Amino acid sequence: MPWQPSQRSKDIPPFIVMDVLERAQQLEREGRSVIHMEVGEPDFDTPDCIIRAAEVALREGDTHYTHSQGLLELRETICDHYLARYGVTVDPDRVIVTSGTSPALLLIFSALLEAGDEVIMTDPHYACYPNFVSFLGGRPVFSRVTAQTGYQLDMDDLKGKLSSRTRAVLINSPANPTGSVIPKETLAELGALPTVVVSDEIYHGLVYGPAEHSILEFDQDAFVLNGFSKLYAMTGWRLGYVIVPPRFVRPIQKMQQNFFICAGAFVQRGGIAALTEAGEDVAKMVKIYDKRRRILVEGLQKTGFSIPVAPEGAFYILVDARHLGSDSVKLAFDILERSGVAATPGIDFGPSAEGYLRFSYTNSSRNLEEGIRRLADYVREVTNGKI
């Protein structure tokens, strides 16, 4: 009998947005036009100052292993960034540079969890969060957030989920898929909980109202995830970092050494340039995202979708599509096949988002307007019983 894949590799759920993207790409290869609003990938090119820094590093032979925690200069620059932006002091020894934030999540939960330990997170949530926890033998526990409260944490509900097996509370602000931003008062309350807080701050800087806050302003013993993919349009560079409590540095460093060695040297040089030189580029991109956000919110509402809460950050809109069907996977693929608009099924983000769709505005205003037109045609056909 041939050897079979491990049970955990068979049990891990798919990342449904990638299934949508891959089907959309297949349609494009067949000659179809697709408006991409499914993936959270900036359509902007990486700013020139970042590319130049990486080019210089390559030309100068900066293509070798770095310290497993990352270049000291990059770690110091990250600390300078957190001091300037949030007023918090971080020791560079607490920073571990990773090849994107996904490896950082794997490292954090590998250091935190024994079999059966629990991690509390919101529902809805970033699709992959519970899969990291479950894959490592932990148990995701969900605290529901609703449109009625602006997708803000219900702290009484969250506190009621705490148990002797709770090892962490995982938060994401600005949040994927809702675009909600956690206020500082809630962050302070989270920082006072008798458990570790893991704060995913990858969408920091992508805000369209009051400024976001870091958990480190309220809890120096928290874990912070951040990176360069979203704010700096560097998804393909695979560069992130985690700020960890001092007692976790060596265990996580050892796992980094064994499993990943280090992030790319010249890529880290690009990260330094991003933090020190790309401010104007980022401001321009955020301004354009805000314009697109307003176009898409207004257009989707006119098309008949309900948007219970307009996003305050990130670049996603979660819309109620239950008037078109209760099965969000079926609906998303039907919209893709019939109208050439790619959106993410809400169920990818948890049971509370079933019947919803997530639209990303990481596409040009012109393409978003074309997508809205196609969606309007689709909705009319559904309403008239033609589909």
Closest CA to 165 of 130, 141, 144: 141
Residue with tokens 């033609």: 386
Say if residue 163's pLDDT is above 90. yes
Residue 363, number of CB atoms within 10 A of its CB: 23
Domain boundaries, the chain: 7-45+280-381, 48-277
At residue 238, the 3 state secondary structure works out as: coil
What single-letter amino acid sits at 64?
H
Residue 385: per-residue pLDDT: 65
Residues 214/61, Cβ–Cβ less than 8 Å: no
For 48-277, CATH gives 3.40.640.10
Say if residue 296's pLDDT is above 80. yes
Half-sphere exposure of 143 (CA within 13 A, CB side): 21
Per-residue pLDDT, averaged over 259-280, amounts to 98
Weakest mean pLDDT among 87-96, 127-136, 271-280, 302-311: 302-311
DSSP code per residue over 250-274:
HHHHHHHHHHT----HHHHHHHHHH
User: Which ranges constitute the DSSP H helices of the chain?
Assistant: 7-11, 16-29, 48-59, 72-86, 101-112, 129-135, 155-161, 184-191, 246-259, 265-277, 279-303, 328-339, 365-383
Closest CA to 150 of 125, 180, 172: 180
pLDDT in tens, 59-112: 999 999 999 999 999 999 999 999 999 999 999 999 999 999 999 999 999 999
CATH homologous superfamily for 7-45+280-381? Aspartate Aminotransferase, domain 1 (3.90.1150.10)
Distance between CA atoms of residues 158 and 16, nearest Å: 27
pLDDT in tens, 165-180: 999 999 999 999 999 9
Residue 350: per-residue pLDDT: 96
Token pair of 385 as six digits: 């019983």
Say if residue 387's pLDDT is above 90. no
Percent of the residues in the chain that have a pLDDT greater than 90, as a whole number: 94
Closest CA to 259 of 38, 64, 98: 98
Say if residue 299's pLDDT is above 50. yes
Mean pLDDT of the chain: 96
Q: 7-45+280-381 and 48-277 share one CATH topology?
A: no
Residue 149: per-residue pLDDT: 92
Residues 112/245, Cβ–Cβ less than 8 Å: no
131 class by beta-carbon count within 10 Å (0-12 exposed, 13-18 middle, 19+ buried): middle
pLDDT in tens, 325-371: 999 999 999 999 999 999 999 999 999 999 999 999 999 999 999 99
116's CB contacts (< 8 A; 6+ apart) are 137, 138, 139, 165
> Does a cis peptide bond (omega within 30 degrees of 0) precede residue 5?
no
Percent helix / strand / coil, the chain, rounded to 5: 45, 15, 40
Residue with tokens 């803000």: 152
Residue 19, number of CB atoms within 10 A of its CB: 17
Per-residue pLDDT, averaged over 173-194, amounts to 97
Per-residue pLDDT, averaged over 127-139, amounts to 96
Do β-strands 341-342 and 344-345 pair in parallel, antiparallel, or remain unpaired?
unpaired
What single-letter amino acid sits at 276?
T
Distance between CA atoms of residues 142 and 379, nearest Å: 33
Say if residue 386's pLDDT is above 60. no
Q: In the 8-state DSSP scheme, what is residue 139?
A: E
